[in-house]
Amino acid sequence: MKKLFAIALLLGMLLTACQSGNEEQGSTKEEAASQQQKTEKKEITKEEIDLNTKPNEAGQIMILMYHNISTPEAEWVRTPENFRKDLQALYDQGYLPISLTDYVNGNITAPAGKSPYVLTFDDGRENNFNYLEDGSINPDSAVGIIMEFAEKYDDFEPRATFFVNGTGRFGPKEEVQKKFDFLVENGMEVGNHTINHPNMKTLDASGVQKEIGGQKAYLEESFSKPYNINTLALPFGSRPDKSLYNYLETGSYEGKDYKNIAILNVGWDPNPSPYHTDFDPLAIHRVRASETNVDDVGIYDWIEILKNHPKRRFVSDGAANIVTVPQGLEENVKAPEGKELLVY
Tens of pLDDT along 97-126?
999 999 999 999 899 999 999 999 999 999
pLDDT by residue (tens digit) across 168-200? Answer: 889 898 999 999 999 999 999 999 999 999 999
Q: Cα 244–249–250 angle (5° rounding)?
A: 90
pLDDT the model gives residue 18: 37
CA neighbor of 251 nearest in space, from 181, 299, 204 = 204
- pLDDT tier for residue 42 given thresholds of 50, 70 and 90: low
Rounded Cα–Cα distance for residues 188 and 325 (Å): 29
pLDDT the model gives residue 41: 52
Q: Is 35 helix (H, G, I), strand (E, B) or coil?
A: helix
Taking 90 as the threshold, does the pLDDT of residue 201 lie above it?
A: yes
Across the chain, what does the average pLDDT equal? 91
CA 135 from chain centre, in angstroms, equals: 25
- How confident is the model over 279-284, as a mean pLDDT? 99
pLDDT the model gives residue 242: 98
Taking 50 as the threshold, does the pLDDT of residue 221 lie above it?
A: yes
The more confident residue out of 307 and 18 is 307
pLDDT the model gives residue 37: 46
Percentage of residues in the chain with pLDDT exceeding 70? 88
Taking 60 as the threshold, does the pLDDT of residue 309 lie above it?
A: yes
Helices and strands in the chain: count of H runs, count of E runs: 8, 14
Q: Is 121 helix (H, G, I), strand (E, B) or coil?
A: strand
Taking 80 as the threshold, does the pLDDT of residue 25 lie above it?
A: no
Percentage of residues in the chain with pLDDT exceeding 90? 85
What is the value of pTM for the model shown?
A: 0.88
- How confident is the model over 147-170, as a mean pLDDT? 97
Omega before 72 within 30 of 0, i.e. cis: yes
CA neighbor of 209 nearest in space, from 168, 242, 255 = 255
Set out the domains of the chain in order of their start, with CATH numbers. Answer: 57-343 (3.20.20.370)
- pLDDT tier for residue 8 given thresholds of 50, 70 and 90: very low
283-313 burial: b if 16+ Cβ within 10 Å, else e:
bbbbbbbbbeebeeebbbbbbebbeeeeeeb
pLDDT by residue (tens digit) across 227-255? Answer: 999 999 999 999 999 999 999 999 999 99
- pLDDT tier for residue 148 given thresholds of 50, 70 and 90: very high
Please name every residue paired with 118 in a beta bridge, in sequence order, or none if there are none. 63
pLDDT the model gives residue 1: 40
DSSP string, 150-198: HHH-TT-----EEEE-SSS-SS-HHHHHHHHHHHHHTT-EEEE--SS--
Taking 70 as the threshold, does the pLDDT of residue 222 lie above it?
A: yes
